[in-house]
Amino acid sequence: MNIDWDQFPADQSTEAAAPPSREPLSEGIHKGAIDRVTVENGWRVAPDNPSGDCLSIWLDCEEGGERKRVFVTVPCNQINRISVIARACGVAPPERGRADWDETTLIGRECSVETSQYIVQNGPKSGETRASVRRWIVTEAAKPAAPSAAPKPAAKVPPIKVNKAAKAAQGGADDIPF
């Protein structure tokens, strides 16, 4: 992309939105919007996730007039967890047998989450308090609309045809055939 900087006035403001606060989000239920979603390769290699692919989600929540960010990482083999996140955001979840679910449909979507806090145990950020999402809250308003499929009509079973001679040979109304 080539930008011709001479076409923009020098007094035009280039201020970006305020960066998120570094203070962790408090424990409790919060509303937020998903700012970024990416698939990261090789982050969480495990026996049940040999490729290590993860869904990395940046969730921005408002608290005390500040925007606070929570980072969520979900291994891609945890389809049920990804489905709950999608339903909490009002997006149709991944369907079994379809490999082409688009995670970018989550971007910009609002959702409710319950958060908790933890203290980082290892690494250069050891001792810092961080927020994490304990659970994603699926509300009626956030549920994606069900596909409008017309209900199937009940199967019609044709009546059984009985030969008149066989009916007469069966006996009367009190005859029990065994």
Task: State the SS3 of the chain.
Answer: CCCCHHHCCCCCCCCCCCCCECCCCCCEEEEEEEEEEEEECCCCCECCECCCCEEEEEEEEEECCEEEEEEEEEECCCHHHHHHHHHHCCCCCCCCCCCCCCHHHHCCCEEEEEEEEEECCCCCCCCCEEEEEEEEECCCCCCCCCCCCCCCCCCCCCCCCCCHHHHHHHCCCCCCCC
Does a structural domain hold residue 78? yes
Residues of the chain with pLDDT under 50: 1, 3
- Look at residue 64 and tell me if it is in a domain: yes
Is residue 149 situated within a structural domain?
no
The boundaries of the domain holding residue 116 are 20-137
Contact between 35 and 75 under an 8 Å Cβ cutoff? The reply is no
Domain membership flag for residue 74: yes
Task: Please indicate, yes or no, if residue 163 is contained in any of the structural domains.
Answer: no
Determine the pLDDT at residue 20. Answer: 63
Q: Residue 105 maps to which CATH number? A: 2.40.50
Kindly state whether residue 143 falls inside one of the protein's structural domains: no
**Position 164 in a domain:** no
| Residue 145 placed within a domain | no
pLDDT at 85: 94
Q: How many domains does the chain have?
A: 1
